[in-house]
Structure 1
Amino acid sequence: MNDTFLKACRGEKTDYTPIWMMRQAGRYLPEYQKVRGNVTFLELCKSPELCVEVTLQPIDILNMDAAILFSDILILMEAMGAPLEFHEGKGPIFPKTIRDQAALDRLSVPDADEATGFVMDTIRLLRKELRVPLIGFAGAPFTCATYLIEGGSSKVFWETKKMMFTNPELFHNLMSKITEATILYLAAQARAGAQALQLFDSWAGILAPCDFKVFALPYVQKILQSLKKFDIPLIYFANNGATLLDLSITSGADVIGLDWRINIGDAIKKVGKRAVQGNIDPFALLLPKDQLRKRIADLLDGAKDAHGHIFNLGHGIHQFTPPEQAKIAVDAVHELSSR
């Protein structure tokens, strides 16, 4: 197995910088679109054989150094008892929001192997097929809570922040329940064979540092601490989180994911003896080949003092990105970092 990704996570010497991309199994690949054309998104997420197929696509086509399980961060929320719908052009919808104690009481903390057994089946099947490490994942509690409270995506997060500031007890109770379920879910992924685990905190960046410290960080810390016993790399990614970096490094993660809004050299100085993952703007993949290669060379140079560096985008690859541009990036990272 190519274990370059795992070595970088642990801060060990590697022959080159490993690369994978968030949302690497997805809509930008025609091969994915072909599979997706026959099933709904949720049907795809719950079909282990199809999940294996689309998880393997970017490994086979683009030569990524790690695979990330194909799933969605909200699968666990559905398993907890929150009806989930996906609508084209609108994204995820929770028709029954969680805005009072009665609604919260209807959520359960499920047995992960029973409620999300299809995820564990996918992991076990992938481990038989993969030649690179497999990353399992979950949504961080704050991000998942926003979807449950808002009923879907939001621009201003009015209902979430209203609950935080006017009914903090209810908010913390919701966070505690999501945290408990997430610990069980990620532990099950580790037992099934995931070789690293990532917490995605897509909406953490909407919080002031003082609020992140109270309303989000303690739950991330609890999850990551509970997973230490599995002795696999733990990654925490707070999107739009440059202002939260001083706090994120206390999360307990072995690897800190970075978006593109911070210079990687500056981030490395703060992160210290931890690996970093990131952090090119996903839209930089649209640059002409020579300019893209230079952007990558500059980023690799900026990361030369990192305890360990995994090359990644600062967020998910955009659905309209030409696959050939992603291939240019992968090849450039491998070539330029091995010199």
Structure 2
Amino acid sequence: MAQLTLMPHESGAHNRRSRSHDSSFPLVAAATGGRPTRRPVWFMRQAGRSLPEYRAIRADHGMLEACFDPAMVCEITLQPVRRHDVDAAILFSDIVVPLRAAGIDLDIVAGTGPVIAHPVRTAADVAVLPRLDPAGVGAIGKAVELILGELADHTALIGFAGAPFTLASYLIEGGPSRTYARTKALMYGDPRTWNVLMGHLADITVTFLRVQLDAGVDAVQLFDSWAGQLSPADYRHYVAPHSARVFAEIAGYGVPRIHFGVGTGELLPAMTEVGPDVIGVDWRVPLDEAVRRVGPGKAVQGNLDPTVLFAGADVIEREVRRVIDDGDRAVAAGATGHIFNLGHGVLPTTDPDTLTRAVDLIHSVDLP
């Protein structure tokens, strides 16, 4: 395929940066208790395998290669914004990008996910883990500047990172897992080594987020994708202190901070306690019930089941309206706002037109 050409629009990023995090962004308004101009919506994994334009651009490039190419990151990040008119772009990247940038030997294998060449399972392994130099993710900062130069004034840019527990699970297991047995064995059996590892990963996460924030992202999302494997007590004891430090160390940027995990209905109170402004909710818990669990004063994000998008137009409309109604009830119950999203990521075989129609419907429903 032809090589992408960087367009001369870098200066636009700096102009937009000066009014970044403005509540005129529907997403920022909903996240911070303001009145959005329309219902904000974006989709996790919106920049990805469901889009034919994404598959075309990735045809000759590996995942990690794409993640470190500012022009490719910019183009892929913008594709769903152009197609769907969502209210936020999310930076095209992967949660293991900062680990790779730090020098950890890993790859993202098609059909499998991240694979770690040398899993981390002992105190000695933890002791030799490299630190992340911000320069190692300088390409990501450059990509943010390029994206901001292209986005419309009403469209926010979300940066993201993996939370320490989820990063630890990949490092310890060596890749994806169903049981997380090795991860939990280290957590329970050697808490000192566990906490050193988690502290190290919190440092990496903070550095990665700061690079994105310094470049101008309007919000950030911390993915603790696999925290749902834990009990509330174990989450609070082994995980919460480290995630709380991540949120605390980026609080000074003044941007909305979103926290999300899968299967975390029982963890919603504990995940909210670590300091986010917005709590992501998967499809297993209605949004108004989520507010009852976490209490007032936080915005909620979610939570259409991604598989609903395969069920036909009538079902999609019914379920989208149900989530909107749940979101309105959540706000009435004390949530500061509702950001429409899926309960997890867009599935690869989703018809992109169903997402576009869902966005049109969401934007057409009046705010209460």
**Fold conserved (TM > 0.5)?**
yes
Distance 1:311 1:106 in 2: 42
Kept in 2, the 8 Å contact 1:86–1:93? The answer is yes
Distance 2:128 2:313 in 1: 52
Q: What secondary structure does 1:310 align onto?
A: strand
State which of 35, 44, 61 in structure 2 corresponds to 1:13. 35
Unmatched tracts of structure 1, length 5 or more: none
Match runs of 1:1-339 below 5 Å: 3-112=25-134, 114-131=135-152, 132-271=155-294, 272-304=296-328, 305=332, 306-338=335-367
Q: What secondary structure does 1:283 align onto?
A: helix
Q: By how many angstroms is 1:219 displaced?
A: 0.8
Q: What secondary structure does 1:19 align onto?
A: coil
Kept in 2, the 8 Å contact 1:235–1:255? The answer is yes
Q: Which amino acid aligns with 2:60?
A: N
Alpha-carbon deviations, 1:50-76, whole Å to 9, x = none? 111010000000111000000000011
Kept in 2, the 8 Å contact 1:300–1:337? The answer is no
Kept in 1, the 8 Å contact 2:50–2:350? The answer is yes
Q: By how many angstroms is 1:77 displaced?
A: 1.3
Kept in 2, the 8 Å contact 1:141–1:178? The answer is yes
Kept in 2, the 8 Å contact 1:8–1:18? The answer is yes
Kept in 2, the 8 Å contact 1:56–1:67? The answer is yes
Kept in 2, the 8 Å contact 1:201–1:238? The answer is yes
Alpha-carbon deviations, 1:80-114, whole Å to 9, x = none? 331111222221100100111222122122222x1
Q: What secondary structure does 1:154 align onto?
A: coil
Q: By how many angstroms is 1:338 displaced?
A: 4.8
Distance 1:50 1:235 in 2: 25
Kept in 2, the 8 Å contact 1:51–1:122? The answer is yes
Q: Which amino acid aligns with 1:116?
A: V
Kept in 2, the 8 Å contact 1:99–1:149? The answer is yes
Q: By how many angstroms is 1:158 displaced?
A: 1.1
Runs of 4+ in 1 over 4 A off after TM superposition: none
Q: Normalized against structure 2, the TM-score is what? A: 0.89
Alpha-carbon deviations, 1:203-251, whole Å to 9, x = none? 0000011110111111111110111110111111122110001111211
Kept in 1, the 8 Å contact 2:168–2:197? The answer is yes
Distance 1:8 1:268 in 2: 15
Q: What secondary structure does 1:216 align onto?
A: helix
Identify which range, 90-99 or 287-296, moves more after superposition: 287-296
- Give aligned-pair identity as a percent: 38
What corresponds to 2:19 in structure 1?
none
Q: Normalized against structure 1, the TM-score is what? A: 0.97
Q: Which amino acid aligns with 1:53?
A: E
Distance 1:195 1:186 in 2: 12
Distance 1:148 1:187 in 2: 22
Distance 2:316 2:118 in 1: 44
Kept in 2, the 8 Å contact 1:233–1:254? The answer is yes
Kept in 2, the 8 Å contact 1:268–1:303? The answer is no
Q: Which amino acid aligns with 1:320?
A: T
Kept in 2, the 8 Å contact 1:213–1:247? The answer is yes
Distance 1:182 1:79 in 2: 12
Unmatched tracts of structure 2, length 5 or more: 1-15, 17-23
Q: Which amino acid aligns with 1:196?
A: A
Q: Which amino acid aligns with 1:222?
A: R
Q: Which amino acid aligns with 1:298?
A: R
